[in-house]
Amino acid sequence: MQLPPLSFTVLDTETTGFVPRVNRVIEFASIRVEGGAEMDIYEQLFSIPVEIPLPVQVLTRIKQDTLKDQPTLESCREEILSHIGSETIIVGQNVSFDLKMLKGEGIDLTDRPWIDTSMLASLVFPELASYSLGYVSRILGLRHDPVHRALGDVHATLELLSRCWERLVALPPDLHAVALAIMERSAPGYRLLFGTLPPPTAKAVPLWLTPPKPAERERVRTPKFAQAAFEKPNAGTVALVEEPLDPATLEELLHWAVTDPSTVQWIAVKNLDATLRRTTIPKEVRVLHHPSFLLDFEAAKIFAKQEVYTADESTLALKLAWYEPQTFHDLPIHGEERAIWRGKLACTDTSNAYVRQFAELPSVVLLDHRQLLHFLIDPTHTAHGSLSANAHIIISDASMLEDTASLAYGWSCTLDDLRAASEGELSLTRFTDLLQLWIEKVRLAQDSHPIGKQDLTMPEVTALKEMIDGLLSEQRRTDTVETQLRSLRQILDPTLLPGRIAWIEQRQNGSQFIKSIPERISTILGESLFSPYPTTLLIPPASADHLPEIIPQDFTAHSLPTPVEDLPPPIFVEPSGRVESFLETIPQGKTIILVPSRRIIEGFFITHTEKLEEKGVTLICQNLSGGQERMQAEFLATSGSCLWLLTPWTYEGVELPLGSVDHLIIQSLPFDHPSYPVTAKRCEHYRNAFEQYTMPRLRHRLFRLLRTFCRHRTKAGDVRVLDERLETKEYGRTVAAYLRALGGTSSTLKPPPIRKKASSELKPTSTKKPPMKKPPGTEVKDQLSLF
């Protein structure tokens, strides 16, 4: 192995959870390296006074009996420190977690220089789809034994450091120079590492810094559907066109649209970034990126001049210099760099990079729902000068319009973004700390908690509003931070609460949000979108009369005949089916199983992981197998049978290539959670909320799930829905008929056994995104010179 000429110790822990001082360290391992040679190897289990949670026992294979007669970590503290060494740099994968857990056990290494290999890997391995140690080990062929244990992770981390070092020493002079200039301002560990780089000898830019050419994709021809979608209605009228399950029809829409220059077609999609990754965009189409995904070059210049960087700021700064991005997705961004981007680098509605996109628009414009809806209600927005009298607005994925409009018309503040922006700013740090205390006091440890008037009359809120006013008066914040502070100021005003739904939400990764949205959005949609502009909504089949919260009751909407040319997957309704049968008799190929809750997923994980591993089957479970990017990457990297358990809500956002999934199994009907603040409040609008609101949203979600599967499936991919209510309840039988209609002639009452994967099926294609087309009028910016 080629290693940096430093004295360092690679370490890893296995723990009972993620919270220092609450959860415990049950294993520690380390390898100390001096002069490029391994000088010391150490591993030790520790007894603890509490039970190891069952999921942790499965993840680590450390059982309660394994810790019997083992010493306590406290008794081994000096021994651990002696193996680490007193003058070494600490190295680890996501090492900040290990340092926090060790500090919770009384071993404080946080003042020592440290290096995070996951961040290093994201710098020099941009081609990787995930930077989890398991995935990186598999793709790069790293030594990772013993599996599931701390020493195995240490072996893999040491080899990953070596691979990263090999790429760093191969940098040409200009990239080498900017790396040194940035890392001189970084945290001590990175400063020491980059300071030992040898003088550059390479001449050319390495291949890994050269973006690949996009793969050619076969176009799907659906001219009759495209013709229906572009039949322009009169202003003040909404045309409803049924979308097919085949999502490739959007590409045909774009190619069809550019043939008619007489009308400016504004095509809005739910997720613009995902659309760009999987769709070939004609060169005549203008893509309007959301401001939060665009780099504000003026903010980047300020960022480049920072005298001191945190570790994550320095890796992001180096990526800005090396990769010269224009959007968030042009970077191999990782970890806390996301919050730094949003807090310090992203555009706002008034940023030059964002405004330039609207200059000299062609006849076809592609953007996302939220951006379109947001600027339609803002008369000062630059887009209003671009919406000409011959505009025709087409909204794809219109069943999501309630949710995306709620976000577009809402106010939101993200605690992670404020925390990232507060680095080096004492007043903003104090404010963020007080906001955090108020959030914890109000939400009562709940994942989502509605904000009531009593919460907004607390003394802490008065102090927070005064602090916001003071922060805004300083006039030295980035536009992104100012936007979030102004939104929060409105949320905290009790006089603005009537007619709105406000709540605190904590995501699975611990991120916290404060949000407020209008209680009723159909009126806003009618006034800002449907009345002034000819609008076509692309909707799921048989839903023209079931668009609650989208089309106002007094509004004219008509359905156009849609001759859908579709080849849907077989959809089998199995009311008596059980997920357990698919975990015991393994389907051939790759299977995605949608389970209604994380608690149920955890139960399957505990019961089946080790049994499946003995059979050579990979089980991937939401919340227990890392984040979404890691799960996607590991699902694609698995060569044998694989089962992926996740919730339907998560699956809607999964991005996999065509030909990668053989079977989709839906355990139960994916109803909205009735206690979620938005659902609970909007149900109050209806006399029969179940029939008028809940059931239409269920059918829409089922359609979107099937459409997502159509983007991922093999040619013979099939769907099975197992809920017994499909047979025992009247509404269930209605849903079963809807599903069979979506499946067409390929669906039958009696499903065949899941078959072996045929060799003739489509092979997974690359998920690597093509290089971004630069917006017109954007000059080439040499970001190397900034630093």
Give the DSSP letter string of 355-366.
HGGGTT--SEEE
Q: How far apart are alpha carbons 7 and 732 in whole angstroms?
A: 65
Kindly report each contact of residues 273-279 with a partner whose C-beta sits within 8 Å and lies 24 or more positions away, as own/partner: 273/329, 274/653, 274/655, 275/250, 275/366, 276/329, 276/769, 276/772, 277/655, 277/767, 277/769, 277/770, 278/247, 278/655, 278/711, 279/250, 279/251, 279/254
Q: In this structure, which amino acid lies at residue 235?
A: A
Q: Which residues make beta-bridge pairs with 590?
A: 642
Which tokens belong to 250? 């959007």
Angle between helices 150-168 and 117-124 (to 10 degrees): 40
Query: Mean pLDDT across the chain, nearest whole number?
Result: 89
Q: How far apart are alpha carbons 348 and 371 in whole angstroms?
A: 11
Q: 603: closest CA among 671, 509, 667, 665?
A: 667
Q: Which residues make beta-bridge pairs with 43?
A: 29
**Coil, helix or strand for 524?**
helix
Q: Which residues make beta-bridge pairs with 16?
A: none
| The pLDDT value given to residue 385 | 78
Q: If you ran DSSP here, which 8-state letter would residue 757 be given?
A: P
For strand 448-450 and strand 364-368, is the pairing parallel, antiparallel, or unpaired? Answer: unpaired
Q: How far apart are alpha carbons 93 and 200 in whole angstroms?
A: 27
Q: 749: closest CA among 713, 709, 720?
A: 720
| The pLDDT value given to residue 631 | 96
**What's the pLDDT band for 151 if we cut at 50, 70, 90?**
very high
Q: How far apart are alpha carbons 343 and 456 in whole angstroms?
A: 25
Q: Which residue has the higher pLDDT, 203 or 252?
A: 203
| The pLDDT value given to residue 761 | 39
734's enclosing H/E stretch is helix 730-743
Mean pLDDT of 557-583: 81
Strand order in the sheet with 25-34: 37-45, 25-34, 8-15, 89-92, 114-116
Residue 178 contacts by C-beta under 8 Å, 6 or more apart in sequence? 318, 321, 322, 784, 787
| The pLDDT value given to residue 271 | 92
| The pLDDT value given to residue 223 | 55
Q: Provide the 10 A C-beta neighbour count for residue 310.
A: 17
| The pLDDT value given to residue 770 | 42
Kindly report each contact of residues 550-556 with a partner whose C-beta sits within 8 Å and lies 24 or more positions away, as own/partner: 550/398, 550/401, 550/402, 550/405, 550/521, 550/522, 550/525, 551/238, 551/522, 551/525, 551/526, 552/522, 552/523, 552/525, 552/526, 553/522, 555/238, 555/526, 555/530, 556/236, 556/237, 556/238
Q: What percent of the chain stands above pLDDT 70?
A: 91
Contact (Cβ atoms closer than 8 angstroms) between residue 632 and residue 766: no
377 pLDDT exceeds 60? yes
**What's the pLDDT band for 763 if we cut at 50, 70, 90?**
very low
| The pLDDT value given to residue 380 | 86
Q: 617: closest CA among 585, 646, 594?
A: 585
CA angle (510, 603, 137) in 5-degree steps = 65
> Mind listing the pLDDT tens digit for each residue in 482-523?
889 999 999 999 999 999 999 999 987 678 999 999 999 999
Q: What percent of the chain stands above pLDDT 90?
A: 74
> Mind listing the pLDDT tens digit for each residue in 407-448?
999 999 999 889 888 887 899 999 999 999 999 999 988 889
**What's the pLDDT band for 225 if we cut at 50, 70, 90?**
low
> Mind listing the pLDDT tens digit for each residue in 262-278?
889 999 999 999 999 88
| The pLDDT value given to residue 217 | 54
Contact (Cβ atoms closer than 8 angstroms) between residue 323 and residue 126: yes
Angle between helices 730-743 and 695-712 (to 10 degrees): 30
Q: In this structure, which amino acid lies at residue 353?
A: A
Q: How far apart are alpha carbons 35 and 569 in whole angstroms?
A: 59
Mean pLDDT of 657-685: 95
Count how many Cα atoms sit within 13 Å of the Cα of residue 119 in the half-sphere of its side chain.
25
Contact (Cβ atoms closer than 8 angstroms) between residue 342 and residue 294: no
**What's the pLDDT band for 218 if we cut at 50, 70, 90?**
low
Task: Spell 747-756 as b/e; 16+ CB within 10 A means b.
Answer: beeebeebee
759 pLDDT exceeds 60? no
Q: In this structure, which amino acid lies at residue 245?
A: L
Which of 174-183, 307-316, 622-631 is predicted least confidently? 622-631
502 φ, ψ to 5°?
-120, 140
Q: How far apart are alpha carbons 407 and 578 in whole angstroms?
A: 36
Q: How far apart are alpha carbons 265 and 280 in whole angstroms?
A: 17
> Mind listing the pLDDT tens digit for each residue in 449-488?
999 999 999 999 999 999 999 999 986 666 778 889 999 9
| The pLDDT value given to residue 56 | 95
Which tokens belong to 617? 């089957």
| The pLDDT value given to residue 730 | 96
Q: 30: closest CA among 112, 110, 89?
A: 89
Q: Which residues make beta-bridge pairs with 34?
A: 37
Cα-Cα end-to-end distance for the chain: 32
Q: Is the pTM above the cut of 0.75?
A: yes
Q: How far apart are alpha carbons 497 and 371 in whole angstroms?
A: 24
Q: Which residue has the higher pLDDT, 549 or 228?
A: 549
Residue 194 contacts by C-beta under 8 Å, 6 or more apart in sequence? 168, 179, 180, 183, 184, 186
| The pLDDT value given to residue 751 | 65
**Coil, helix or strand for 298?**
helix
Task: Spell 117-137 as b/e; 16+ CB within 10 A means b.
Answer: bbbbbbbbbbebbbbbbbbbb
Q: How far apart are alpha carbons 103 and 109 in whole angstroms?
A: 7
Contact (Cβ atoms closer than 8 angstroms) between residue 642 and residue 620: yes
For strand 571-573 and strand 448-450, is the pairing parallel, antiparallel, or unpaired? Answer: unpaired
Contact (Cβ atoms closer than 8 angstroms) between residue 772 and residue 277: no
Please report, for residues 153, 325, 369, 757, the alpha-carbon distance to residue 669 in angstroms, rounded to integers and kept in the order given.
39, 42, 26, 27
Residue 572 contacts by C-beta under 8 Å, 6 or more apart in sequence? 718, 719, 720, 721, 743, 747, 748, 751
> Mind listing the pLDDT tens digit for each residue in 277-323?
888 899 999 999 999 999 999 999 999 999 999 999 999 999 999 99
Contact (Cβ atoms closer than 8 angstroms) between residue 387 and residue 482: no
Q: How far apart are alpha carbons 528 and 531 in whole angstroms?
A: 7
**What's the pLDDT band for 232 if we cut at 50, 70, 90?**
confident
Strand order in the sheet with 448-450: 411-414, 512-518, 500-506, 448-450
| The pLDDT value given to residue 476 | 65
Q: Provide the 10 A C-beta neighbour count for residue 473.
A: 8
Q: Which residue has the higher pLDDT, 200 or 246?
A: 200
**What's the pLDDT band for 565 if we cut at 50, 70, 90?**
low
401 pLDDT exceeds 60? yes
Backbone Cα Rg of the chain: 27
Sign of CA pseudo-dihedral 83, 86, 88, 90: positive
Mean pLDDT of 59-86: 96
Q: Which residues make beta-bridge pairs with 115?
A: 91
Which tokens belong to 363? 């006849």
76 φ, ψ to 5°?
-105, 10
| The pLDDT value given to residue 246 | 81
